[in-house]
Chain A
């Protein structure tokens, strides 16, 4: 079993007003049993809880709402688009027109997703980023991880740069790719030249088919929509009577739709040949695929993960194409409630600084837990009391009063007993980094483990275990529950009598829900130093602040006896 690292997760308040949750196997909670929100103990095992618990580092803090903010209660705003491979910034206008992939020369291996590098065919063996500028073409794309090469799909390039443009003009196997527009132009010429044309059942590639379908239905919608009417021509054209009656037809049965269609828009019809995007499937295609599988075997087929990365549906390795890197973004974050910015990175791709960065760890105390005495095993022995040291560290420049509350026994089937020996204490103010650097030499003296085990300094109820400049640690006494579900009936808890199934995943992890209330006084003027309170002369006026939240402390795994 892997070692267990104790953890603390904080609950974001944005989930507080949700309906009460239920644990596995529990009946629907009856509305009468639902007591006041405040009285309810937070259950970290509730299925819903997983969505509201976050490590402190993942949380932001809104100074205007005085509240914790998680990724679910902030709004993301894209500051910059960039390619993660070439690190070039992409203007949002070209993201709109060109799509969300890099259009320079950044391609990923269709087999293993590693970045592809360009190399000359002549020196393909030496591979590895050989100096391409000095060598002559043709060039291929090589994967440095799985050794895949674009030669395998019959693609060679003339130039070592502008890969995106070159690749879009060539099909697998080396045939030139003709875009839908060119194809249409050619088609028209063909029709005018010969009466037969390319035939109504010509096979199209996916791009051309989509292009044909799109242009066909756009023209249909434009024809059927009256010039006045509902006046909604653009977009998807849901406002057109044609589309409306078709939708109505879906709900009311075909007779309604048919009648309307005949009377009102006889001009609305469906695609009927390949120039309009119609592609007939035949059993011949299936037969082709089957014979191909028989020929190439299992190795010749693409895995689901490989298929997923492709723009078009592809089944065989020979049909895979290199794909360009998805763009990444730098985003700023706003509070959903008050719209103030909580985090704003510098817009330049390579600049890692933030203009604004209101992270929760600068506002709410960090909580850590560790065993008081080093145990021989990492597992907790059932029914044997153990002591843990809970350390609370204050990041604020004011001293704070902290109140810690835990339920007497943890929720769930296996109720461990928890006692915080000193649930109320005051923590000194944090000083800034400069002070901290000065203090570096004189280390604060800490109680050593030896002293603790000597029993000279026994943990006492109501007393702080240890105190530093801006941190306090208190002792928590825990009696881990037994994980047994068998045994005599009278020994069992009510929970186990109801459900004595086998141990579920991570049910042996001892998690303590902790309700933390932090109170402090702050300079009202200092808080709004920049603006409104400039004229406020009552500088001595202190403002009371309070912050309360649930968190969950993962202590360790209980041994199975």
Chain B
């Protein structure tokens, strides 16, 4: 799979679980499980190939230039260290701040992610905060050093919509003021629609469609994208209108068909089994990996 993110751009990666969204992010961050290996390809960041880089080069980048917001905040935070200390730790390691400014700066970060009465929650342990509060602490950690690229894996699933809007505004402000590039991995298509410039749709490890955000949701061309949209709850919709995607992501361990959506697709023909998988530019910046793009 290939995609690029420019300075100040927000790209959304959407798809079901098992489609490879999180693995892509972890590969970029160079923190894949030791058993996993990036077999080929590059992730070039400001000129440095992160896949080829040494672990120490990558460590230098992570936290300062690159930061990640994880999917499961409770697991990503240290359970036996107060949240305030954890933010101070990051600032001490990467921020180059005079020591006396570390604590006030950490406090300010907690307030920026909308933890009410931040000063008095500074010494709380993660278990003493709600799920969404832990998520916001992690966001504070991720933005502590004004990174050049933030990879956010489901950054706001545990947040109510008003807090979510506030946090996304904050990320947006970073994008505008420090030209931070953001990769948002999400299955919340509504969020992706409102907050991303461009969307990359993944299925079973392939990019099946990529388009400017608004266009993707108004004119989806890959049948999988259309199914994803139909399985998303809309305001006022009834449960009966909600249709799950039939079939399952194919087992990635075996031999795979040319089009990995083939077994789930109701429009496939024998021509779909012919390699290579086409990548058709249907519009400006809109590419679809389907031999028979849907008409919309």
Partners in one complex: no
**Which B residues are closer than 8 A to A by beta carbons?**
none
**Which A residues are closer than 8 A to B by beta carbons?**
none
